[in-house]
Amino acid sequence: MKNGRRIAILTGGGDCPGINAVIRAVTKKAILQYGMEIIGIEDGYHGVIHNRYRKLEYKDVSGILTLGGTILGTSKTANPYRYAIKKGNKLEFKDMSKTAVRNMKKLDIECLVCIGGDGTLGIAHDLFRDGIPVIGLPKTIDNDLRGTDITFGFDSAVWIATEGIDRIHTTAQSHHRVMIVEVMGHHAGWIALHSGIAGGGDIILIPEIPYKVDVIAKKVKERSRKGKRFSIVVVAEGAKPKGGDIVIQRIVKESSDPIRLGGIGFVLGEQIEKRTGVETRTVVMGHLQRGGTPTPFDRVLATRLGTRGVDMIENKEFGYMVGVRGEALVKVPLKDVAKGPRIVPLDDPLIDAARSVDTCFGD
């Protein structure tokens, strides 16, 4: 280590392909170009609160470019500003932010690199406000972060979802069924939109466009009259009927985002079968979209983001996330990233393109 320079890195929120590629990029460049020592914080903000970390050597990140998940572990429930503590059968929330700030200062780090989505980077902004030098790197399969055109992990998730839709096509045709493929997407329908178009979905349902079951049923019947005895429905887990609500699978009280969605495909399947008389089946892609090796695109993007993040540390450009605008990498204030999810605009060109090839959005 040259000049006693040290940085820390953590991953928060849901895992996705490409995280390890980012960890690799940050670690290798920081060591090779700037002679920094790298501290890997374990299990996201849990590690910040409980001082769980380890030193990352060059050899620790060799060979992890294609590895899914995160070698540091992650958490969707650890928030230093609202940390869940169980006392008997009761769950209490405590502000542990002062402990988190104190622990980071004791590490004598130059910067804390936070890899995550809007929840993780919202906490990163709070830590920056409380005196910790921070930069953010945009990670989420949902592609719903403000300030960036794309996040790493999204392309991989779309590939996985599209492969699922492709495989569903053959069995749908063989049995003359309506096949519903439920994909992730709580607030934003980017995965459903992209994989639905790529997979030739006949009906695509996203959170941004409330649907009518009768419109969907009409589309299925119309296809049958034209000799298309099957239909493919791609639905985001956060889609909801007009005037209705989302389908909640369970509540995780200790999480900063307690609602866990899932099951809209099964609800919709019963409704479609009842209205059309066509046998309907549902496949939930679920966490398959988070797992496995990243696509080449995500490996390249993760490497670009990670190495640019190290340059930002060198230039002391703290309080920002590295974003993508067109082909360029840009600085985005974390305060802007924390303002909420980036949803699909109703005038998005992809929606128009899909409609022009007779794709139904249930409206």
Residue type (1 letter), 73: G
Q: Which of 15, 43, 118, 142 is catalytic?
A: 142
Residue with tokens 């899932």: 262
The helix/strand/coil state of 358 is coil
Q: Tell me the DSSP string of 207-235.
A: TTS-B-HHHHHHHHHHHHHTT---EEEEE
Query: CA–CA separation, 297 vs 18, rounded Å?
Result: 10
Q: Which residues contact 72 (CB under 8 A, 6 or more apart)?
A: 9, 10, 11, 23, 40, 41, 42, 43, 47
Query: CA–CA separation, 108 vs 115, rounded Å?
Result: 20
Active-site residue flag, 142: yes
Contact 17, 293 (CB under 8 A): yes
Residue with tokens 């406000």: 129
Residues with active-site annotation: 142
